[in-house]
A and B are shown apart, each in its own frame.
Chain A
Amino acid sequence: MAITATKGQVGLTGNAAVAYAMKQVNPDVFPAYPITPSTAIVEDFSSYVADGEVTTELITVESEHSAMSACIGASAAGARVMTATSSQGLALMWEMLYIASGMRLPIVLADVNRALSAPINIHCDHSDSMGARDSGWIQLYAETVQEAYDNTFMAVRIAEHAKVRLPAMVCFDGFITSHAIENISLLEDQEIQDFVGAYKAENPMLDTDNPVTYGAMTLPDAYIDFKYQQSQAMMRAKDAAVEVMKDFGKRFGREYGLFDTYRLEDADTAIVILNSAAGTTKVAIDELRKQGKKVGLLRPRLFRPFPWQEMVEALKNVKAVAVLDRADSMNAFGGPLFNEVRSALYDLDQRPKIFGRTYGLGGRDYKVKDAVAVFEELSRVVETGKVETLLKYITL
């Protein structure tokens, strides 16, 4: 059902809110192949197209590989392009994800986080977007429906930033965020249009007076130079993200940073965790704080590029850190978030003790008691000065 409210508080699912955000951006082209749990984004958006509420060309394709291929073609042609997917859909886009980023096309994709097969499962974990973490896409993660809605606009600006020009992924939790109704505050269409601005493509293929070639072969004399450029653009994306988030806060009063912290300033122990599970962890923190325990949280929002210096600054006074991953790298050495946070802390002279826990795969509930148990483990580490178990699964 299409949303008719244009301003103020409204109860929306994560999918409906993101589809509405995309409607407000009014992209030129939206190629998509619906997949659970992101289906409702494509459903809602196709209603907006059918009802004439957007001027977007919706391309229905035969697979996600084709969806991303069409995104690339349309973006190279000079269009502002958006799409949505989940899980196997993102996996099927794999080959094309690297081409989108390598060609420096600022496509925006909503990834509603879902587990990867096998065994088949439609529920939340971060295996899909974590698997794509090296594909050259900017990745923003969201705890709430409000944040997923807001990130959609910021993703457009960061991706299209003149110093960046890389595709961006807006990630939020399947079912937990995508299907739960939350009271959120919508912005007006004109406010969004002013914020994202008109899109000006670089080297559009439809500019026939200035013909260009996309996707040419490069050999050892050039390939690494293009990859270096791309790498530098990803380095610049952090400052661009800060700039865009600041502007968003100034215009709309909702402040966002590279990561979110909760009662971290004086914390002895902290959990680092992505997306909706941060909310559960905050409840545990409030309970433990009432008992006088100094516990806190850091929730990364921008995961690609990884803002490691800022994260180190935020965690340097914590005595012990637990990094909770909703994805397993299947490397017998812990999840992706654990490995990157642990690596970031290495240069500190006085490093916090750190361990990794894998939780909630395939939609397994992560409850307040699970977060409390992790904080209990952390306080034992602080007492003994030793990490007894570096890695393990919880919520089993």
Chain B
Amino acid sequence: MEKKEFPVGGVIPKGGTAHEYSTGGWRKLRPVVNKDKCTNCLICWVMCPDSAVIAEDGKMMGFDLDHCKGCGICAVECPDKVKAIKMVEEAE
């Protein structure tokens, strides 16, 4: 008997399902933003490979830590004159 609940060929028949999988647990370094320094240029939001920078009304609001893998790209890309993002050890 065919198991109906399994879609043929392993296809996931809907979009956006990556959101349901938490990749935050892979993180070793956590990004921390200093909002006093941040200029809301949103370069971090553009560069984040996991769409884990939260932006609202043109402002950088923080990080989606359920999906941030801690790659540190945001901290590197934050402009040299600003450097508002620091990576800190999760263990600390």
Q: Do A and B actually bind?
A: yes
Interface residues of A (CB under 8 A from B): 102-105, 165, 202-203, 210-216, 218, 222, 225-226, 228-229, 232
The answer to whether A225 and B13 have CB atoms under 8 Å apart is: no
The residues of B that contact A105 with a CB separation of less than 8 Å are 9
The answer to whether B12 and A213 have CB atoms under 8 Å apart is: yes
| Complex partner residue of A104 from B8, B12, B13, B15, CB under 8 angstroms | B8
Residue contacts A-B, CB under 8 angstroms, 17 given: A103-B11, A104-B8, A105-B9, A165-B8, A203-B13, A210-B13, A212-B12, A212-B13, A212-B14, A213-B11, A213-B15, A215-B10, A218-B10, A226-B9, A226-B10, A229-B2, A229-B8
The answer to whether A212 and B6 have CB atoms under 8 Å apart is: no
B58 interface residue, CB < 8 Å from A?
A: no
The residues of A that contact B81 with a CB separation of less than 8 Å are none
Q: Tell me, rounded to whole Å, the shortest Cβ–Cβ distance linking B9 to chain A.
A: 4
The answer to whether A225 and B9 have CB atoms under 8 Å apart is: no
Q: Tell me, rounded to whole Å, the shortest Cβ–Cβ distance linking B30 to chain A.
A: 25
Number of A-B contacts (CB under 8 A): 50
The answer to whether B10 and A103 have CB atoms under 8 Å apart is: yes
Q: Tell me, rounded to whole Å, the shortest Cβ–Cβ distance linking A206 to chain B.
A: 13
Q: Cα distance A218–B14 when bound, in Å?
A: 16
User: 10 additional contacts, CB 8 Å, given A203-B11, A212-B13, A213-B11?
Assistant: A103-B11, A104-B9, A211-B15, A212-B12, A212-B14, A213-B17, A214-B10, A222-B6, A226-B10, A228-B3
The residues of A that contact B3 with a CB separation of less than 8 Å are 225, 228-229
Main secondary structure of the interface of B (DSSP, over half): loop
Q: Tell me, rounded to whole Å, the shortest Cβ–Cβ distance linking B88 to chain A.
A: 30
Q: Cα distance A202–B9 when bound, in Å?
A: 10
The residues of A that contact B9 with a CB separation of less than 8 Å are 102-105, 165, 203, 214, 226
Q: Cα distance A102–B9 when bound, in Å?
A: 6
The answer to whether A211 and B16 have CB atoms under 8 Å apart is: yes
Residue among B3, B8, B9 facing the most chain A CB atoms (10 A cut-off): B9
Q: Tell me, rounded to whole Å, the shortest Cβ–Cβ distance linking B10 to chain A.
A: 5
The answer to whether A216 and B15 have CB atoms under 8 Å apart is: no
Using known A-B contacts A228-B3, A229-B2, A232-B2, determine if residue A212 contacts B15 with beta carbons closer than 8 Å. Answer: yes
Q: Which of B11-44 contact A (CB under 8 A)?
A: 11-17
Closest residue of chain B to A104 (Cβ to Cβ) is B9
The residues of A that contact B14 with a CB separation of less than 8 Å are 211-212
The answer to whether B13 and A226 have CB atoms under 8 Å apart is: no
Using known A-B contacts A228-B3, A229-B2, A232-B2, determine if residue A102 contacts B10 with beta carbons closer than 8 Å. Answer: yes
Q: Which 9 A-B pairs have the closest CB atoms?
A: A211-B15, A104-B9, A213-B12, A103-B9, A203-B11, A225-B6, A226-B10, A212-B11, A216-B12
Q: Cα distance A390–B50 when bound, in Å?
A: 61
The residues of B that contact A232 with a CB separation of less than 8 Å are 2
Closest residue of chain B to A205 (Cβ to Cβ) is B11
Q: Tell me, rounded to whole Å, the shortest Cβ–Cβ distance linking A103 to chain B.
A: 5
Q: Cα distance A211–B12 when bound, in Å?
A: 9
The residues of B that contact A222 with a CB separation of less than 8 Å are 6, 10
Q: Cα distance A102–B11 when bound, in Å?
A: 10
Closest residue of chain B to A202 (Cβ to Cβ) is B8
The residues of B that contact A218 with a CB separation of less than 8 Å are 10
Q: Tell me, rounded to whole Å, the shortest Cβ–Cβ distance linking A237 to chain B.
A: 14
Q: Cα distance A36–B16 when bound, in Å?
A: 44
Closest residue of chain B to A228 (Cβ to Cβ) is B3
Closest residue of chain B to A213 (Cβ to Cβ) is B12
Closest residue of chain A to B10 (Cβ to Cβ) is A226
Using known A-B contacts A211-B16, A213-B17, determine if residue A229 contacts B6 with beta carbons closer than 8 Å. Answer: yes
